[in-house]
Each structure stands twice: as C-alpha cells, then as structure tokens.
C-alpha cells in the first residue's frame, strides 16, 4: 500500500480528445505531482481509459483558442488535448510548475533548512521530505 500526500491545485470538468473524432467527458485534476483525467462512467463504458500524466514528464504546454472554450495541449510522452472553461487558469498553473519544478522561493535562497515532521532536516529547495515523502512546510 502506497500513501501519498498530494495537494489538489486545480479541478474542473473537461473534455479530453482521445483522437480526432473521439472525445471523452470527465474530471480534470491537477495536483502538485500529477495531472489526472477521470473519465465519466458513460464514456468509460465505451472503453475510454482515464489518464494520469506525471508533472515531471510534461515537456510543453500550449494554450489555443477554441470555438467556445480554450484548448490546452500538453506534450509529455505524447500529446494530450483538453478543452475546459478555465483553460487559462490551468495553463498558468502548469507553466508555474514548469518554470519552478522544485517549488523554491522567488529569492532563490537555497541555504535555509526545514525540519520535517519526521525530525530530519532538509534544504528549503525540497517540496517533499527526501526521507519520508511528507510535504514540507513553507517558510
């Protein structure tokens, strides 16, 4: 059994374009570790699978104009296309993660230490404790 301490950063209903003629409706959730798309049961009954994209594997994010809502194109090991009304907000959060994957402070101070709940000291550049995996408190 694996326990994770993920924090949800964004969540909204979205449409995922599996390929050109096929799209699935579901719930898109961005955590500090992964981007999940959970397919709604009706669309899952047609064999469409849910998607999990590790944030570390994201290579590029594009925001395109859509007919009604913005289209987000995420390039990881392949291209993923999502349409959602708050596409700009998701794009901004993904770009923030891509620009600052370690979650370090803006001033770039890497010398301060944080004490984790497990009792170990670690550098402030870490978002998670390297020993126990718990999310570290921000200074």
Give pLDDT tens digits for 2-25: 456 778 889 999 999 998 789 999
CA distance 6 to 4: 6
CB 54 within 8 A of CB 6: no
What residues does each domain of the chain span? 8-99, 105-139
CATH class label, 8-99? mainly beta
Beta bridge partners of 19: 22
The answer, as to whether pTM is greater than 0.75, is no
Q: How confident is the model at residue 60 (pLDDT cuts 50, 70, 90)?
A: very high
CA distance 23 to 5: 31
- The whole-number average pLDDT for the span 77-106 is 84
């Amino acid at each position: 059994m694996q326990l994770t301490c993920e924090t949800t950063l964004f969540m909204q209903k979205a449409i995922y374009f599996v390929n050109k003629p096929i799209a699935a409706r579901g719930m898109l959730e961005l955590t500090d570790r992964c981007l999940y798309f959970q397919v709604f049961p009706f669309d899952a009954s047609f064999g469409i699978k849910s998607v999990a994209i590790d944030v570390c594997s994201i290579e590029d994010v594009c925001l395109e104009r859509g007919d009604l809502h913005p289209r987000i194109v995420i390039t990881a090991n392949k291209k993923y296309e999502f349409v959602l009304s708050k596409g700009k907000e998701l794009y901004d959060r993904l770009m923030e993660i891509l620009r600052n994957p370690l979650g370090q402070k803006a001033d770039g101070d890497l010398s301060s230490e944080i004490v984790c709940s497990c009792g170990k000291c670690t550098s402030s550049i870490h978002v998670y404790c390297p020993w126990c995996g718990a999310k570290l408190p921000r200074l």
